[in-house]
């Protein structure tokens, strides 16, 4: 028996990395999970390898009405939505003076516009049941977790586009929390530091992904990877399962009174320019 028995969760970008680890953990705790990824084959494989009940929506969420169709896929499969984890994303790094309009806009699109459009599409399926429950004097909590980053809360050289987008995620989250708290929809963000994923592995020819037919280089320089022991008091990057644990907490009943917050999962990462 899991703490999420009977719940339905959408996890974007969930065929690999943090998203997959999150989908696995939510499923282990009883949730039915929609798996989403750009790569339909990988998404189907992930869904088949997760023991619990799953469905798949493959596609680029920045395109057309994809966010609406994503939400509808969950409704078609299970008739309800209880949890949304907006995790999909990637990085396009360059110093600000060399950053193109295209690279700026692509980070805003995937990290801010997509989460906004997903939660907007899901709004009737979150708010309308809550209105009925409120009339009946019943509290049922639903969850929105938006994935941010320490780049968005501290800033990060070479990531003006990504940092601005991830900061925007925090603003979106706090606004939703103010608007939707009355419906018992917990809206929180999780800001990750150095998590061991494709985005933080070595920047080499093997670490690339294809978006719109264009190869996108992922990863960070090995010099930065080597500095992790000095920058992180716990002495190492997080495993994806540890990152998923932070998301799971914000999806669980134990976070019912946690609202409008940004949970930093960083191992105590140094270097933040914040008060």
Catalytic amino acids?
A: 162
- Alpha-carbon Rg for the chain in angstroms: 18
CA distance 191 to 148: 4
Please give the helix or strand (H or E) that residue 107 lies within, else none. helix 101-108
| Closest C-alpha to 185, from 108, 258, 269 | 258
Cβ atoms of 4 and 251 within 8 Å: the answer is: yes
The first and second tokens of residue 192, run together, are 């990750």
The answer to whether the CB of 273 falls within 8 A of the CB of 154 is yes
3-state class (DSSP) for residue 161: helix
Cα(157)–Cα(223) distance, integer angstroms = 14
Q: Which residues pair with 262 in a beta bridge?
A: 189
Tell me the torsion sign for CA atoms 37, 190, 267, 23: negative
Task: Please state, in angstroms and rounded to a whole number, the distance separating the CA atoms of residues 121 and 138.
Answer: 24
Q: Could you please report the per-residue DSSP string of 127-149? A: HHHHHHHHHTT----EEEEEEEE
């Amino acid at each position: 028996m899991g703490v999420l028995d009977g719940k339905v969760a959408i996890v974007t970008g969930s065929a690999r990395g943090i998203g997959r680890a999150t989908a696995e953990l939510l499923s282990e705790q009883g949730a039915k999970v929609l798996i989403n990824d750009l790569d339909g084959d990988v998404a189907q494989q992930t869904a088949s390898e997760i023991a619990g009940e799953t469905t798949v929506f493959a596609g680029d969420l920045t395109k057309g009405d994809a966010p609406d169709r994503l939400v509808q896929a969950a409704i078609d499969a299970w008739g309800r939505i209880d949890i949304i984890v907006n995790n999909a994303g990637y990085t396009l790094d360059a110093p600000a003076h060399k950053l193109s309009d295209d690279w700026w806009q692509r980070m805003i699109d995937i990290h801010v516009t997509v989460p906004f459009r997903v939660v907007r599409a899901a709004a009737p399926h979150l708010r309308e049941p809550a209105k009925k429950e409120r009339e009946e004097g019943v509290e049922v909590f639903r969850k929105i977790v938006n994935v941010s980053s320490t780049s968005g809360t501290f800033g990060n050289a070479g990531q003006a586009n990504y940092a601005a987008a991830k900061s925007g995620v925090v603003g979106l989250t706090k606004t939703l929390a103010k608007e939707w708290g009355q419906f018992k929809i917990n809206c929180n963000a999780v800001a990750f530091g150095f998590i061991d994923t494709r985005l933080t592995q070595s920047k080499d020819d093997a670490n690339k992904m294809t978006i719109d037919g264009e190869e996108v280089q992922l990863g960070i320089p090995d010099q930065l990877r080597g500095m992790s022991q000095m920058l992180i008091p716990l002495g190492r990057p997080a495993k994806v399962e540890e990152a998923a644990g932070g998301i799971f907490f914000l999806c669980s009943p134990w976070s019912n009174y946690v609202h409008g917050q940004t949970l930093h999962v960083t191992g105590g990462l140094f270097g933040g320019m914040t008060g």
